[in-house]
Amino acid sequence: MSVALDSSLPALREGAAQAMQKAYAPYSRFRVGAALLTEGGAIVTGCNVENASYPAGICAERAALGSAVAAGHRRFVAVMIVSEAAEPTPPCGMCRQALVEFGSSLQVVSRTTGGSEARWSLAELLPRPFTPSSLQSR
């Protein structure tokens, strides 16, 4: 884990926790906030936004990723996820796939509002990803 990540953890936790408070989760009542740390040190947040047509909703990690990309960021060090779950939750499969587009070395940190925390590399969570190189013709 890089020194930049360790020194940024308090700000990442706070950003993700604040984003979680803004989540729109009237159906699942499972609020999630995410904060992405860019290679340049910026922190970009997102929250889950549910929809009555369930597949139209978006997870916090992908909301943060969309905001970061819209702001011009393409290289990330870590993502912090905060939820009210009993145990730290890793990103769902769709979020793992979206995140790996920007590199499998991303560090994933998940924290509960109760203070439990877990860490993984994205490569651990998605060991054989479909990436842009998978699209190369032979």
Whether 80 and 111 have beta carbons less than 8 Å apart is answered as yes
Q: Exposure of 9 by Cβ count < 10 A (0-12 exposed, 13-18 middle, 19+ buried)?
A: middle
Residues designated catalytic: 61
- Alpha carbons 114 and 7: distance in angstroms, whole number: 21
- Residues whose CB is less than 8 angstroms from the CB of residue 6 and which lie 6 or more positions away in sequence, other chains included: none
